[in-house]
Amino acid sequence: MSWLRSAFQDELDGVTNSLVDLCNQVDSAIAKATHALLTANLEEAQEVIDADDKIDDFQHELDARIIDIVARQQPVASDLRALATALRMAADMERMGDMAHHVAKIARLRHPNGAIPSELLLTIEEMGKVASTIAKKTAEVIGSKDVEKAVELEKDDDAMDQLHRKLFQVLLSDDWAHGIETAIDVTLIGRYYERYADHAVSVARRVYYQVTGKFLSDF
């Protein structure tokens, strides 16, 4: 029955490839959303908003495929756990797409003005870069099961947290001269980037656990 086993393995590999694909999609989404936000680019913002439906559909189809594999193949417990984990990873990445979508919506809402005051542009640019780096590494972790890279991601997430704190420092400084509306935008945008990174780290931790059987705790 080795050809059967192999067909099943092909299906599992297909799931992994789709997870990598989904991760690349949400990477593009946050990169473009950040650019739209920094340059008050309405067209780009709209592209991110439109692409989010495709990301959602992609996740739903992947979910259905995973359930179908389980129903047909009746996998052993370990494969079953891997497939359940794949469902959770897909859900995390769908939320990453939502975060990019939220960022793009603020860019669209404030257009033709920029949502971000000039003294915060570099910090937001950096948050976008870290988010994109995290997404790229997460795709690698999923594809190659590289647990060293999963550990690196924890440090990238720390960098994101530091940028998030920096955002609040500027918001709370006595010099803040951009009023409440901009403070609200920046607060929400900061949270979206932070959550984006959290979801990616959650995906990487799941891979780490699958490969090593150990939890990758915060360090």
Measured from the CB atom, is 50 or 181 closer to a copy of itself?
Answer: 181
Q: Which residue in the set 7, 67, 109, 211 belongs to the binding site for a copy of itself (CB under 8 A)?
A: 67
Q: Please tell me the count of residues contacting a copy of itself according to CB under 8 A.
A: 25
Number of H helices, E strands in the chain: 6, 0
DSSP state of 111: T
Tokens of 60: 């739903």
Residue type, 146: D
8 A C-beta contact, residue 194 and residue 150: no
82 scored as a contact of a copy of itself (CB under 8 A): no
* Measured CA distances, 156 to 20, 26, 44, 77, 88 (Å): 19, 17, 26, 33, 22
The amino acid at 204: A
Binding range to a copy of itself, per CB under 8 A, among 36-44, 103-111, 140-148, 175-183: 175-183
Identify which of 112, 118, 166, 157 has the alpha carbon closest to the alpha carbon of residue 137. 157
Does 88 bind a copy of itself (CB under 8 A)? Our answer is yes
Token pair recorded at residue 50: 């439109």
Is residue 4 close enough to count as binding a copy of itself by CB under 8 A? no
- Interface residue with a copy of itself among 12, 20, 87, 151 (CB under 8 A) is 87
Cβ proximity to a copy of itself: between 5 and 88 the closer is 88
User: Of 32-40, 158-166, 173-181, 205-213, which part binds a copy of itself (CB under 8 A)?
Assistant: 173-181
Q: Length of the chain, please?
A: 219
Under the rule (CB under 8 A), what is the footprint of a copy of itself?
63, 67-68, 70-71, 74, 76-77, 80-81, 84, 87-88, 91, 168, 171-172, 176, 180-181, 183-184, 187-188, 191
